[in-house]
Chains A and B, each alone.
Chain A
Amino acid sequence: MFRLLKGFGVTFNYFRKKNITIQYPDEKVVMPARFRGIHRFFPDKCIVCDLCVKVCPTDVITLTGKKSEENPKKKVIDTYNIDFQGCILCDFCTEVCPTDAIVMTARYNNLSSFNRAEQFKDIHWLSDNHVYGHYEESDPVPEMGERGERK
């Protein structure tokens, strides 16, 4: 019986300690810079080398290129799609990309949708995904509050 009360002692001790939970929809955790969140695509950097398509384990990336108007020897990206129904966010596409054209942001929410077709994200959606992440040349957008800090 004594040990049972001692156990309750641990519980009661927590009444005077600080709160460790966060109120999710109001405050959100900021993930670290390396976090493998939803992709961002930089169309200007892409050299259409097709490596991300080859390395993708779930075959969710599709792309097409076209001849550049300024320099007919070069290729530029035309369409670039990721099907997030199958993407496992493994990060291999950003790992093999020689020019860092595809990067991962720290974004982890707002990919839910009412139909499957909306999970299919095109080049415009992916290049508009302005959330900070493990890449340079971009202004970090502190979209979400600091962890545990109340707004």
Chain B
Amino acid sequence: MSIKTETMTLNMGPQHPSTHGVFRLLVEVDGETITKAEPIMGYLHRGSEKLAENFIYTQFIPYTDRLDYMNAMTNNYVYCAAVEKLLDWEIPERAEYLRVITMELNRIASHLVWWGTYLLDIGALSPFLYAFRDRDHILDLLNEISGARMTFNYHRIGGVKWDAPEGWVDKVKEKVKVLRENINEYDTLVTGNEIFQARTIGVGKLTKEQILNWGISGPLARASGLKIDIRKEEPYSIYDRFDFDIPTQEEGDVYARYKVRIAEMYESLKIIEQACEQIPEGDIIHKKGARIMMIKPPAGEAYTRAEASKGEIGVYAISNGKNKPYRVKLRRPSFVNVAILQDILIGQSIQDLVAIFGSLDIVLGEVDA
């Protein structure tokens, strides 16, 4: 005799610890199997795109910090690069190197936060403490150069705000060595752990077709065997001068995403080391860039994109020749990546929900903008 059962609707969030923000997921479960999932967002919506229309160009930079607050340097960069494209400015060499060093340091910090909090989500407490210890090394460095620990507001249209303080580059070189040793430690601590592997291998698989259909980018795409990285494909800033690889995995499961992100941290360390060796002396900002009230690009439109830690971040800016942008459109990687939840969760068991959701690495500031 079979028992007739009904599906149950379950609300995950808006206040759920594993979302690291305010995000609601409407899940329909049949027994323990998920039959439908619907992400509901907008709880953190601040209207950043609309705000940009009422600001002079430079004033919007602190607001890009608050999109993906784990990886604010790349957001700073991509917005400044869009305005620079409108202005057609040449950026000083030293400024480009400082931008690359800060962006890559920030990428490692972002991946460390993911590493710590993801393991926290699936039940391992101590990795969180290791990750935040190492993240603090990076935040201290960024604090010294930019004056803030998370909302840096460091890149400017035409360069960077401050030159590196005395001895900062040497400090970065030392910290790179420390970080490389510490990330090795993570492998011993977690990667080979049998419990962790049982929890993640084969869970939440994404195929190449799904990645392309949903427009997924970043580590998620690379874990499914797609070798896409804007730093290599369309080198922005000075990324064509460095020697680094794009780590990829074929499996497309949660464990593959984990491995891609760990490998990416090593690649970022490689880039930082090379940049610290090559960094020249010179100006740090375009000669017109320091007067932040006077920036007035000619009428036109520009799109720039960059590889943030979550995926492809893009800024589309339209200027009508005034000192305020006519329109700023932000392509936020987390917002695009979170949509895959509708597809990836179907047929999975409810126990794997948090393990899959956490592996997407979304930041709600960026989802809702």
Residues of chain B in range 54-75 having any CB-CB distance to chain A below 8 Å: 55-56, 58-63
- Is the Cβ of B126 less than 8 Å from the Cβ of A11? yes
Partner of A35, one of B133, B143, B189, B293: B143
A70-91 vs B, CB cutoff 8 Å, 1 = contact: the mask equals 0000000000000000001111
Q: Which residue of A lies closest to B151 (CB)?
A: A88
A4 at the interface (CB under 8 A from B): yes
Within the assembled complex, what's the spacing in Å between the Cα atoms of A44 and B162? 27
Residue B306 at the chain A interface, CB threshold 8 Å: no
Whether A91 contacts B193 by the Cβ 8 Å rule is: no
Docked pose: A1 CA to B58 CA in angstroms: 55
A1-19: contact bitstring with B at CB < 8 Å (1 yes, 0 no)? 1011011011100000000
Contact of A91 among B143, B144, B153, B165 (CB under 8 A): B153
Which residues in chain A, 45-68, are within 8 Å of chain B measured between CB atoms?
A: 51, 54-55, 57
Q: Is B1 in the interface zone, CB < 8 Å from A? A: no
Instruction: Provide the residues of chain A in CB contact with B188, threshold 8 Å.
Output: 6-7, 9-10
| Nearest CB of chain A from residue B350's CB, rounded to whole Å | 26
Cβ B185 vs Cβ A4 within 8 A:
no
A34 and B145 contact, CB distance less than 8 A: yes
Q: Is the CB of B194 within 8 A of A34?
A: no
A40 within 8 A of B: no
Would B194 and A1 count as touching, CB distance under 8 A? yes
A143 at the B interface (CB under 8 A): no
Residues of A contacting B59 with CB < 8 Å?
Answer: 55, 57, 92
A101 CB to closest chain B CB (Å) equals: 17
The answer to whether residues A4 and B143 also contact, given A57-B59, A91-B153 and a CB cut-off of 8 A, is no
Is B147 in contact with chain A by the CB < 8 A criterion?
yes
Pick the residue among A7, A10, A36, A54 that contacts B147 (CB under 8 A). A36
Q: Once bound together, how far apart are the Cα atoms of A10 and B185, in whole Å?
A: 7
Contacts of A57 in B (CB 8 A): 55, 59-60, 62-63
Chain A residue contacts of B161, Cβ below 8 A: 95
In the assembled complex, which residues on chain A have CB atoms less than 8 Å from the CB atom of B192? 3, 6-7
- The reply on A124 being an interface residue by CB < 8 A is no
- Which residues in B have their C-beta under 8 angstroms from that of A140? none
* Residues of chain B with a CB closer than 8 A to A90's CB: 61-62, 151, 153
Assess whether A32 is interfacial by the CB under 8 Å rule. Answer: yes
A32 x B144 contact (CB < 8 A):
yes
Within 8 A of B (CB), among A92-119: 92, 95-96, 104
Query: Are B293 and A91 interface neighbours, CB within 8 A?
Result: no
B293 touches A55 (CB 8 A): yes
Residue numbers of B with Cβ under 8 A of A are: 55-56, 58-63, 126, 133, 143-148, 151, 153, 161-162, 165, 185, 188-190, 192-195, 292-293
Taking A4-B193, A90-B153 as given, write out 16 further A-B residue pairs in contact, using a Cβ cutoff of 8 Å, ordered by the A residue number: A3-B193, A3-B194, A6-B192, A7-B188, A7-B190, A34-B143, A34-B144, A35-B143, A55-B56, A55-B59, A88-B151, A89-B151, A91-B153, A92-B59, A92-B62, A96-B293
Which 10 residue pairs across A and B have the least CB separation, nearest first?
A: A3-B192, A34-B147, A90-B62, A36-B147, A57-B59, A32-B144, A10-B189, A7-B189, A35-B147, A90-B153
19 residue pairs A–B, Cβ–Cβ below 8 Å: A1-B194, A3-B192, A3-B193, A3-B194, A4-B195, A7-B190, A9-B188, A10-B185, A10-B189, A35-B148, A36-B148, A54-B293, A57-B59, A57-B63, A92-B59, A92-B62, A92-B292, A96-B293, A104-B147
